[in-house]
Amino acid sequence: MLFWRTHHLPQTLLSSTSKFSQTAHRNMTTITSSTTIPDDFTTHLRSSTRILALLGAGLSASSGLPTFRGAGGLWRSNDATSLATPEAFHANPSLVWQFYSYRRHQALKAQPNAAHYALAELARRRPEFLTISQNVDGLSQRAGHVRGRGGLELLHGSLFEVRCTGFECDFVNEEDFRDPIAEALRLEDDGRDISSADVPLREVGIEELPHCPKCGENLLRPG
C-alpha cells in the first residue's frame, strides 16, 4: 500500500497526461515540496494497488486560503472551536451562522489549485484510491473530487454541509455552495473583517437565518 501524506502534489503526477495537465496548469499555484520525491514516484504510483493520501491545511494554503482562527484561536472574542459545537448553536444560532458564513465566504473566494485537480483525476482513474482530508473548505469537492464510495473522506466534515435541526426532518445537503446562504448573512468585501471584535456585528434575527427547504419550519444548521 502506498501511503502518501501531502501538502503539495508532486509535479510528476501533475504532468502524467497532457489533457489533464492543461486543466491543472490553468488552475495552478506555485507547487513546491519539502519532501524529496523519488525519480520513480510515478512508476511506483502506477504499480500500487492501494493508495491512501492524507491531506492537511497546507494544501489549502497553496490556494491562498487563510486559517479561520485569529490570534490565540479566537474568532472575535470567542473560542473558534467552541463555536463549532451543537451547544453553541443552541445558545446563539445567529452568532454561529455568522461565524460559519464568514468561513464559507473566505473558502469560496479561494480556488482549487493544481493539487486538488490532480487528486480528483487520480480518484477518477483509480477506484481503489482513497483520500482522507482534514480540510473543511470544500476545495477538493469543487475540483470534482467525489465524496464517499471509497473516494474522498472528510475527517472534520465540510463548511458546506447543512442539515435541518428538526427531529423528524431528514433534510441534508452535503454541497450547499450558496454565498450567502441567507441574504441577512451576506458579507461585503469592503475591507472590514468581522472576525475582529473591533468590527461591529449586525443583529440577525432567527427569522432571517437559513431555514429548511423541505419542512419549511426549522432552522438549517452547519453539518
Catalytic residues: 156
Neighbours of 78 (CB within 10 A): 17
Identify any residues that bridge with 74 across adjacent strands, giving them in sequence order: 79
Collapsing DSSP to helix, strand or coil, 54 comes out as strand
- The Cα 13–Cα 53 span in angstroms is 13
Residues 114 and 25: beta-carbon distance below 8 Å = yes
Cell numbers at residue 211, please? 431555514
Residues 152 and 47: beta-carbon distance below 8 Å = no
Residues 6 and 53: beta-carbon distance below 8 Å = yes
Eight-state DSSP code of residue 128: T
Residues 169 and 218: beta-carbon distance below 8 Å = yes
- Give the torsion through C-alpha atoms of 131, 137, 141, 145, to 10 deg: -20
- The Cα 201–Cα 76 span in angstroms is 10
